[in-house]
Homo-oligomer: A and B are copies of this chain.
Amino acid sequence: MAEPKRLLFNAFSMNCVSHIHHGLWGRAETRQLDYTSLDAWTELAQILEAGCFDALFLADVVGVYDNYKGGPETSIREAMQIPVNDPTLLIPAMAQVTEHLGFAFTGSILADHPFNFARRVSTLDHLTRGRVAWNIVTSYLPSAARNLGYADLPRHDDRYDRGDDYLDVLYKLWEASWEDDAVVADAERGIYAEPSKVHAIDHHGPYYQVPGPHLCEPSPQRTPVLFQAGSSDRGREFAARHAECMFVAGSSRAVGRIRADVHRRAIAYGRQPSDIKIFQGITPVVGGTEAEAKAKAEELRAEASVEGGLAHMSGNIGADLGTIDPERPIADVDFNRVTGIIKNLAETAPDRAWTFGDLARRQMTGQFLVGSPEQVADRLEKLAEAGADGFNLIYTSTPGTFVDFIDVVVPILCQRGLMQRDYRPGTLREKLFGHPRLSERHPGSAVRQR
């Protein structure tokens, strides 16, 4: 009998009040209102580490969802990803109280210049002793681009072209600028680093001109573990080249399809399918029994904010769901950016005529995975068979969702050999892939000094 596949688990959160399931922040059992409190975050990190989670995955946006009903009002009222604070600044405090937990944060290539971003990430990788992952995004909110000095959101494919150049700068700074033995810290001779082993990078790309050298000495991982989440055609091409982990929101059919496509494309870059792990987003709603879980899910569905969900989905698809008839079939409309979401949705029930109303309801509660602890574990096992290597667990209450999962589902997963009982040693990449630094097959390693 084959060894069961160890599944990976991230807690999915965001430095804001309401992340995915809106309208629930006022419930007594959630600490969402404490998002500015270091204590709430260090407590969460300690819970996750006690539960042997692989990482805390922090989403982010650098703009406002402001197209629903023509403005940001609904988002502001619902605390729907606004206010939203910087995710990176939570990591050092959480790292201080943990030893193994990884920290994945989302950062847009539009927000920081790569020279400065490279330093920030190297600093995090040093301070966490190699436990940092970066979820590469290219922004989809026009508000982000306009506030960051772009006349408007660059076109979708242009953003990915810029992303390729951005990553090329980063690889050179992280992998090539300082040789492994550049730092000698020889107090006798008064030499901290050998100047001949610290190199300018002289990057001249289509978007960025960066002479270097990198301002930081090599951190434990050099390049952080790279996540990517875009599932458009260009996004999958980008993932095939750069990503080590991919986050997919959608049905198991969509996950399987994206997985197969990204693996196929990765081979064209000289990589192997096992070089890219797929994380599926799910919201566990666990009860002592199936009936309890169903009642809990019903209660959450009843309290969830339809308005919050519509504002969120409107921003995601770049179309105002406040002006579109909810009964209108989605197949009827050709939104450039809707494609991926619609495809994923449609694949969960290919024969059904999906409407925009379905889309909004789906956004709010569609990812619920409801059941007894055994049922939830069974379902995760099935999703893994369909293609998921791991999961981003979405909360309906924090840290409650994670506490419940750890208390009742994790023991079953461990018993079945589907989840680690203890951490492997080393950096986050070593824990996930068995090697501390970027694989030799990864295009980012091609710039290394030989």
Q: Distance in Å from the Cβ of A168 to the closest Cβ of chain B?
A: 15
- Say whether A193 contacts B77, CB under 8 Å: yes
* Cβ-based interface call for A93 (8 A): yes
* Cβ-based interface call for A72 (8 A): yes
Q: Which residues of chain B are within 8 angstroms of A120 by Cβ–Cβ distance? A: 86, 89
- Say whether B64 contacts A215, CB under 8 Å: yes
- Say whether A77 contacts B38, CB under 8 Å: no
Once bound together, how far apart are the Cα atoms of A77 and B191, in whole Å?
A: 5
Given contacts A96-B38, A148-B113, contact A190 B127 (CB under 8 A): no
Q: Distance in Å from the Cβ of A147 to the closest Cβ of chain B?
A: 4
Q: Distance in Å from the Cβ of A124 to the closest Cβ of chain B?
A: 6
Once bound together, how far apart are the Cα atoms of A17 and B190, in whole Å?
A: 12
* Cβ-based interface call for A290 (8 A): no
* Cβ-based interface call for A115 (8 A): yes
Q: Which residues of chain B are within 8 angstroms of A192 by Cβ–Cβ distance? A: 17-18, 25, 76-79
Once bound together, how far apart are the Cα atoms of A327 and B427, in whole Å?
A: 53
Q: List the one stretch of A206-214, A226-234, A358-366 in contact with chain B.
A: A206-214
Work out how many copies of this chain go into the complex. 2
- Say whether A127 contacts B89, CB under 8 Å: yes
Q: Which residues of chain B are within 8 angstroms of A17 by Cβ–Cβ distance? A: 192
* Cβ-based interface call for A426 (8 A): no
Chain A 19-51 interface 0/1 with B at a Cβ cutoff of 8 Å (1 = within): 000010111000001001010001000000000
* Cβ-based interface call for A217 (8 A): yes
Looking at A77, A95, A191, the one whose CB has the most chain B CB atoms below 10 A away is A77
Once bound together, how far apart are the Cα atoms of A88 and B121, in whole Å?
A: 12
* Cβ-based interface call for A85 (8 A): yes
Once bound together, how far apart are the Cα atoms of A329 and B23, in whole Å?
A: 71
- Say whether B83 contacts A149, CB under 8 Å: no
Q: Distance in Å from the Cβ of A141 to the closest Cβ of chain B?
A: 11
- Say whether A123 contacts B86, CB under 8 Å: yes
Once bound together, how far apart are the Cα atoms of A97 and B92, in whole Å?
A: 12
Once bound together, how far apart are the Cα atoms of A15 and B92, in whole Å?
A: 14
- Say whether A149 contacts B119, CB under 8 Å: no
- Say whether A215 contacts B72, CB under 8 Å: no
Once bound together, how far apart are the Cα atoms of A77 and B183, in whole Å?
A: 9
* Cβ-based interface call for A275 (8 A): no
Q: Which residues of chain B are within 8 angstroms of A213 by Cβ–Cβ distance? A: 64, 72
* Cβ-based interface call for A410 (8 A): no
- Interchain CB contact (< 8 A) of A92 among B18, B38, B72, B198: B38
- Say whether A217 contacts B83, CB under 8 Å: yes
Once bound together, how far apart are the Cα atoms of A176 and B38, in whole Å?
A: 26
Q: Which residues of chain B are within 8 angstroms of A209 by Cβ–Cβ distance? A: 146, 149
Looking at A18, A123, A215, the one whose CB has the most chain B CB atoms below 10 A away is A215
- Interchain CB contact (< 8 A) of A90 among B88, B92, B119, B191: B92
Q: Which residues of chain B are within 8 angstroms of A198 by Cβ–Cβ distance? A: 72, 76
CB neighbors of B among A288-347 (8 A): 305
Once bound together, how far apart are the Cα atoms of A96 and B41, in whole Å?
A: 11
Q: Which residues of chain B are within 8 angstroms of A93 by Cβ–Cβ distance? A: 92-93, 95-96, 127
Q: Distance in Å from the Cβ of A194 to the closest Cβ of chain B?
A: 8
Q: Distance in Å from the Cβ of A301 to the closest Cβ of chain B?
A: 15
- Interchain CB contact (< 8 A) of A116 among B112, B191, B211: B112
Sampled A-B contacts (13; CB under 8 Å): A25-B187, A36-B126, A38-B127, A73-B195, A77-B193, A77-B195, A83-B215, A83-B217, A84-B215, A92-B92, A116-B148, A146-B209, A147-B211
Ranked nearest first, the 10 interchain pairs of A and B with the lowest CB-CB distance are A26-B187, A79-B192, A73-B195, A36-B126, A85-B123, A86-B123, A92-B93, A115-B147, A83-B217, A76-B195
- Which A residues fall within an 8 A CB radius of B? 15, 17-18, 23, 25-27, 33, 36, 38, 42, 62-64, 71-74, 76-79, 82-86, 88-93, 95-97, 111-113, 115-116, 119-120, 122-124, 126-127, 143, 146-149, 185-188, 190-195, 198, 208-213, 215-217, 219, 305
| Besides A27-B187, A113-B148, 5 new A-B residue pairs in contact (Cβ under 8 A), listed by A number | A85-B123, A85-B216, A89-B127, A146-B211, A190-B305
